Copies of this chain bind each other. A is one copy, B any other.
């Protein structure tokens, strides 16, 4: 029995595990499930397939669901070996389950749960069944994720405050395991912390556990420091993670940049589990805006399309769409842009077929909230977020329209990729772009305003950065925006790391690499100076001492391991190593002037595609195993043949 998968209705696996993820936040003893509409999985499905069997064959269906196997006209229970004669036969597997999504594993030689099965939910036409490369054995239960594990011992113990503080080498997502007798376990409490201060603050630390008296183990949580009152015990941390191989390597010889890369890598891997989550201590939720940025980091680090698919499916939920993703209007739009990014990166047509109807229905849902000009407006209860910033939210917000404009364009391109007519979407893009110019562009200020209804002519970086990034602003207007907004100290600065991603991306795309490098060294380098082993949700160099862990009015509210803080990987990979995709191929344009030297491998697409750049300060050597690559260096353009290194000497650079 080989190559079998557990099968389910596509998306159900993701919706189920999404709930487990979104309901997993714990804070000082109480649960804090995510405050948005839950999207349930299906409870009753039927898997169907027709076979033309050359000879008699046997198979067995494994499932925890209630149901039966229908072979022709005859029904069989699950778990029984079924003998199926040669010839044409229709097989359907009927499965129902309440507490988890129904799924089946079909074990056999000819009849088995490989690709080719369709599934229906009695509401929509049948679709190809969903599966995961992580669930290929009949003994597994797809409702329980089998994490990879690594046991870590403390690198330091310290007697303090009437107990022992255990320090692990870095932050982990771990089950703590007190290996001691039952008497010692009686009444034991383990206080955890991302920082030393947090673990020692028994009142305010986020996670404190009474280990299971039988096993000595706690639930899985974010931990770097653990404090246990009383004498020392043998404590281990069983780090649990989803094993997604890192396909990139970055070493440039500048210790700060190299360290930034490696800390960002660790940060990102911790935040990349079953899904892209925001942070490992908090919120442990799947936010569409955060996930959107993670797509860019993933592309340059693991280039794992599976986690992207899981995250995109989990976020979007069922049709018809009735609420914005995470309740946030712009997060719905970023989801559409994320689908486009994913398709551009991996060209996965099957996945696009699966989500394309969801793209359309999302835009249809948005379509119900358009005003006469085609501007997206919130319905009651919708959250117009964009950023934690003082935007003029009177009437339709300009920044939202920029994103919508990019969504119409994305939908047009995705339609075309599936051989469908993209022109209706493109027409909407054109009309919207015209209306944006008419309403939001302020010729006198040389910038887009947030609101055209309030009369306040408020200019923000957010709206203008999105205008550039979403392709609304042309080259001339982009210049004006750089001058009148980005370089204008009178326009309030970006203060959130979330939006700083967009700002740095725009700056870099506009060639302002000095500013980007300055941010890398100052902001991320600044966290390293504080001893960061993972990058933080937010960092203000001016704040020191215990206050640096404070956020949202909560003493240890700040997450010290946050996905959006991993963006240096994207910035370094995209703009300094200089790799970008281009149609079916890629362009490599390394900016060697910013790096002492470079030994860097970056992934290309799914699978094992890579490009390896080696520069010793003199000679540049580029090697790839993918066709379609182009190197731009020394003012010239070189084709990069797969499997054969291209070497340029100093004279050519």
Contacts and interface: CB of A to CB of B under 8 A. Distances in A.
A94 interface: yes
Given A19-B96, A20-B98, A75 B33 contact: no
Contacts of A36: 44, 122
Contacts of A484: none
Interface string A620-642: 00000000000000000000000
Contacts of A78: 30
A122 B35 contact: yes
**Interface of chain A, helix or strand or loop or mixed?**
loop
Interface stretch (A150-158, A220-228, A319-327, A337-345): A319-327
A23 B96 contact: yes
B19 A94 contact: no
Contacts of A34: 44, 96
A28 B41 CA distance: 29
Contacts of A75: 27-28, 30, 32
A323 B123 contact: yes
A98 B23 contact: yes
Contacts of A121: 37-38
A67 B30 contact: yes
B42 A38 contact: yes
Contacts of A19: 43-44, 96, 98
A76 B32 CA distance: 11
Contacts of A33: 44, 66-67, 94-96
A429 interface: no
Contact of A43 (B38, B46, B322, B323): B38
B23 A44 contact: yes
A239 B327 CA distance: 48
A323 B122 CA distance: 8
B320 A320 contact: yes
Contacts of A122: 35-38, 323, 327
A44 to B, nearest CB: 4
Contacts of A455: none
A97 B33 CA distance: 9
A100 interface: yes
Contact of A35 (B41, B69, B94): B94
A30 B99 contact: no
Contacts of A22: 44, 96
Contacts of A100: 98-99
A40 interface: yes
A489 interface: no
A361 B37 CA distance: 20
Interface in A175-212: none
Interface residues of A, number: 46
B322 A320 contact: yes
Contacts of A66: 23, 31, 33
A37 B76 contact: no
A77 interface: yes
A29 interface: yes
Contacts of A16: 98
Contacts of A20: 98
Contacts of A46: 35
Nearest to A102: B33
A96 B322 contact: no
Nearest to A46: B35
A574 interface: no
A562 interface: no
Contacts of A30: 67-69, 75-78
Interface string A59-94: 000000111110000011110000000000000001
Interface in A310-356: 320, 322-323, 327
Interface in A401-447: none
Nearest to A36: B122
Contacts of A43: 19, 23, 38, 40
A362 to B, nearest CB: 15
A96 to B, nearest CB: 3
A122 B382 CA distance: 10
A20 B96 CA distance: 10
A123 B65 CA distance: 29
A55 B100 CA distance: 44
A37 B31 contact: no
A29 B77 contact: yes
A94 B322 contact: no
Contacts of A322: 123, 320
B31 A96 contact: yes
A562 B256 CA distance: 78
A46 to B, nearest CB: 8
A590 to B, nearest CB: 47
Contacts of A98: 16, 19-20, 23, 99-100
14 contacts: A23-B43, A23-B97, A29-B77, A30-B68, A30-B75, A30-B77, A31-B65, A31-B68, A33-B66, A33-B94, A34-B96, A37-B122, A38-B44, A99-B100
Given A23-B44, A31-B96, A35-B122, 5 more contacts: A19-B44, A20-B98, A32-B68, A33-B94, A98-B99
Interface of A: 16, 19-20, 22-23, 27-38, 40-44, 46, 65-69, 75-78, 94-100, 121-123, 320, 322-323, 327
The 6 closest A-B pairs by CB, nearest first: A99-B99, A33-B96, A40-B40, A31-B66, A30-B68, A38-B43
